[in-house]
A and B are shown apart, each in its own frame.
Chain A
Amino acid sequence: DARVTQTPRHKVTEMGQEVTMRCQPILGHNTVFWYRQTMMQGLELLAYFRNRAPLDDSGMPKDRFSAEMPDATLATLKIQPSEPRDSAVYFCASGPRTANTEAFFGQGTRLTVV
């Protein structure tokens, strides 16, 4: 069953706490994206990787957000310290090797920071 897997599905945390979200891309996909979705802003690209190398993280608040790919089967997005304005749904998506192809989304992590 080829799909992007994200954990946790839901996370409630207190302001100031560290949050780590994980993503397992579809096997064989070499591009991984992190998106954030809110009602106001819609889907925003935070960062993406190709062959585990970060290509663009300009959409990410650098002071508190970090994204990594420790290996080809795991991508992480970390927020430290978390703030209420970080409350959103965070999606991971992956894409195959061929250029100009589509991205396939995971089920998302719904983050609430109180």
Chain B
Amino acid sequence: QKEVEQNSGPLSVPEGAIASLNCTYSDRGSQSFFWYRQYSGKSPELIMSIYSNGDKEDGRFTAQLNKASQYVSLLIRDSQPSDSATYLCAVRTGGGADGLTFGKGTHLIIQP
């Protein structure tokens, strides 16, 4: 059974600091990895995707992937109060054939 694990939080980070969100997955065949942000009462919104080992940067966001350790993380630099949300890690096994398996999310709070 495919599992995606995240610390539920809440994770409290002061404004301007770096927020670090972590995710582990059980299926070694996983090939695609995504981070979604979900505000309360809203739908998940894609913020990052990563497919190969290493780092991928997009503005204030950096996704990190380590397939050997089955670990993916999201760093948010210069955290803003508007970054307060639940961050969902999602994993797809391969070939685009499977639906995304989601973790239960980490609730992030940025303290002004």
Contact B96 A100 (CB under 8 A): yes
Q: How far is the CB of B55 from chain A (nearest CB, A)?
A: 18
- Complex partner residue of B96 from A41, A45, A56, A99, CB under 8 angstroms: A99
Asked whether A42 lies within 8 Å of B96 as measured between CB atoms, the reply is no
Chain A residues touching B, majority SS = strand
The reply to whether B49 and A102 contact each other, CB–CB distance below 8 Å, is: yes
Report the Cα distance A98→B45, complex, angstroms: 19
- Asked if A99 and B95 make an inter-chain contact with CB atoms under 8 angstroms apart, the answer reads yes
Residues in A whose Cβ lies below 8 Å from that of B97: 50, 55, 99
Given A42-B104, A100-B51, A102-B34, is A107 in contact with B43 using a C-beta cutoff of 8 Å? yes
Main secondary structure of the interface of B (DSSP, over half): loop
Q: How large is the interface on A (under 10, 10 to 19, 20 to 34, 35 or more residues)?
A: 20 to 34
- Inter-chain contacts of B42 with A (CB < 8 A): 107
Q: Mark A92-113, 1 if CB is under 8 A from B, else 0.
A: 0001001111111111100000
Q: Does A53 lie at the interface of the complex (its beta carbon under 8 Å from any beta carbon of B)?
A: no
| Best-buried of A56, A95, A100 by chain B (most CB within 10 Å) | A100
- Residues of A close to B100: CB separation below 8 A: 33, 45, 103
8 A Cβ contacts from A46-98 to B = 48, 50, 55-56, 91, 95, 98
Task: Decide: A42 and B103 in contact? CB cutoff 8 A.
Answer: yes
Residues of A within 8 A of B103 (CB): 42
- Is B102 in the interface zone, CB < 8 Å from A? yes
Interface status of B80 (Cβ within 8 A of chain A):
no
Tell whether, in the assembled complex, residue B99 and residue A56 are in contact, meaning their CB atoms are under 8 Å apart: yes
Q: Which residue of A lies closest to B44 (CB)?
A: A105
* Given A45-B101, A105-B45, 13 additional A-B pairs, CB 8 A: A31-B96, A33-B99, A33-B100, A35-B102, A42-B102, A48-B99, A100-B31, A101-B32, A102-B34, A102-B49, A105-B36, A105-B43, A107-B43
Interface residues of A (CB under 8 A from B): 31, 33, 35, 41-43, 45, 48, 50, 55-56, 91, 95, 98-108
